[in-house]
Chains A and B, each alone.
Chain A
Amino acid sequence: MELKNKFERAVVLFILFAGGLLVSLPFIWMILSSFKNDREVLSIPPTLFPENPTFQHYIELFQNLNFGVYLINTLIIVLFSMFGLLLNTMAGYGFGKFDFRFKEGWFMIVLITMMIPGQVTMIPTYLILNEMGLTNTMAGIILPGLIAAFNIFLIRQFMVTVPDDLIEAARLDGAGEFYIFFKLIIPLAKPILAVQVILTFIASWNSFLWPLIVANDESLYTLSVGLALLQDENVTNYGLQMAGSAFMVVPIVVIFMIFQKYIVEGFNVSGIK
């Protein structure tokens, strides 16, 4: 579908601009507030631009945060989460493109894991990790979050739309199943995978609960846990919190910018429904 003329273009652009402003206001406020002193952060009506810009919160952040260790831990988790994404993609493909016994039952098990609030299963999950001897290990931090039903479901939904003929043709050419998956399916799934990479990155970059629960040692903490430690019991330091969030959000925006263009690319393969 395309817009017919300049006027329509202008109208749609205007709507997008107005909506965009509304949607990004708290974000802009968050960034700008990281340069405000604490009193200004909460003043009513709020100020948008800091009256007396200060870098105090950023200085505090970098002085008090045990950066090196936390950053490495966070990056390890991100790395493994991408491996988890591969497993999710494989499973989504399996559910979308194969027939096997009890397929719907297996898939229901996957979906069910989305249907219970996380806090309910926190303690049982911890006890399982404990039985496996994985408390206070990196593996214990990574494993519970590695697989996400949401991702499997999304990929499955996409895979259903990939024509069977395409895969059959490749099989007739003698291609192995994994060859088909990596050389045919993954390139085809680029847009949906781009979405997945973004979501997976954000989730693992912000990982908080499991590093905190599983670690019996600060050497396994992540950046998010480190940031949470800077908060006082009684006095919320909003400026510092905003600086922390602003700092954490930079890599997310970068990853988003890189991968969002794949969302609209690809799909040159003709004949896809």
Chain B
Amino acid sequence: MNKSKFNITPFLFIGPAVLLLFVFSFAPILVSLGISFTDMNLSGLANWSQINFVGLDNFIQLFQDEKFLQAMGNTFFYVIIGVPLAVASSLLIAVLLNFFNNWVSSTFRVVYYVPSITNIVAIAVVWSFLYNQEYGLFNYLLSLINVDSVPWLEEPVVARLSLILLAVWKSNGVSMLIFLAALQSIPKIYYEAADIDGANRWHKFFKITLPSMSFATFFVTVTTLIGWLQFFEEPFVMTNGGPLNGTNSMALFIYQEGFQYSQFGYGAAASFVLFAIVIVATLVQFKLRKTD
């Protein structure tokens, strides 16, 4: 393409979407950024003259708020364990499904997608039973092999791990579809050539499959990371952040402290701390990919 002269074509393609996104998503973010430096609450929302600029007060206060720091620690815990698990498990399912090209794959594509379209309340009810300390299925099964009952949701660290398990279970659907689409796009010739060279299966997986679908892996990793940093729904419906604040996440903290109690300035500040973490994590991934 001739770079010296201005080319309108790309802007015809990205223009409408970027414009709409700018007005309805990006501009509100800028407004929120402004709010994060104020003490805006419900009264301020009703009457803007009551909003005071407080500089960095909200941010300073956040880093003195034990609850927030705990939520931040919990969020890192979720991300560090959850993201690799979530990416690996959806990749594994996609690879297994890709072995078949008949009713098996089309049926199981639906089956493995089903958690994404199951009502969250149904998920909460069923999993609460599985995790129930006295009457739950998991502890019943463990008792059969003489293992003491596990406090699945009643002890902070265990509860975090339980929520990760639930979230991985629930999140596989979309990533799996994307991996499947990517797997299908790998030309068979590659494998045939490798067969001639006598490559074994692992070799083929790491030398052909993974590199050929790096565009999908990158996408899934980035979006999964962004999603998990905003971990919200699982603690919201299962534990509401408890016990002892042990499963609280940053996104849940923002929801509770900022919006349930209408402390918009404080909530916005907390979301920009979260935002800073998300953007650093994302940029690191983009950089890593460039150096590949």
**A interface vs B, CB < 8 Å?**
1-3, 9, 12-13, 15-16, 19-20, 22-27, 29-30, 33, 41-42, 44-46, 87-88, 90-91, 93-95, 98-100, 103, 106, 109-117, 119-121, 123-125, 127-129, 143-144, 146-147, 149-150, 152-154, 157-158, 160-161, 177, 181, 191-192, 194-195, 198-199, 202, 236, 238, 241-242, 245, 249, 252-253, 256-257, 260-261, 263-267, 270, 272-273
Contact = CB atoms under 8 A, between A and B. Distances in A.
A34 to B, nearest CB: 10
Nearest to B23: A128
Chain A residues touching B, majority SS: helix
Given A99-B3, A120-B271, A238 B216 contact: no
B185 A112 contact: no
The 5 closest A-B pairs by CB, nearest first: A94-B13, A98-B10, A124-B28, A91-B17, A245-B119
B16 A87 contact: yes
B106 A125 contact: no
B126 A112 contact: no
A90 B13 contact: yes
B223 A115 contact: no
B112 A149 contact: no
A98 B14 CA distance: 10
B22 A90 contact: no
A260 B205 CA distance: 24
B13 A3 contact: no
B264 interface: yes
Nearest to B105: A264
B88 interface: no
Contacts of B267: 120
Interface stretch (B59-67, B155-163, B239-247, B252-260): B252-260
A26 B123 contact: yes
Nearest to A177: B9
A91 B13 contact: yes
Contact of A117 (B17, B31, B230): B230
Contacts of B77: none
Contacts of A153: 219, 222-223
B122 A245 contact: yes
Interface in B235-292: 251, 254-255, 258-259, 264, 267-268, 271, 274-275, 278-279, 282
Nearest to B126: A26
Contacts of B226: 114-115
B114 interface: yes
Interface in B152-181: 169, 172, 174, 177-178, 180-181
A28 B12 CA distance: 46
A119 B17 CA distance: 22
Contact of B180 (A87, A125, A256, A264): A264
Contact of B254 (A2, A117, A146): A117
Nearest to B216: A157
Contact of A1 (B109, B127, B209, B264): B209
B113 interface: yes
Interface stretch (B79-87, B91-99, B143-151): B91-99
Given A91-B17, A106-B14, A117-B255, A45 B268 contact: no
Contacts of B123: 26
Contact of B129 (A45, A112, A125): A45
A256 B113 contact: yes
A216 B181 CA distance: 42
A147 B108 contact: no
A141 to B, nearest CB: 12
A46 B140 CA distance: 13
A29 B223 CA distance: 30
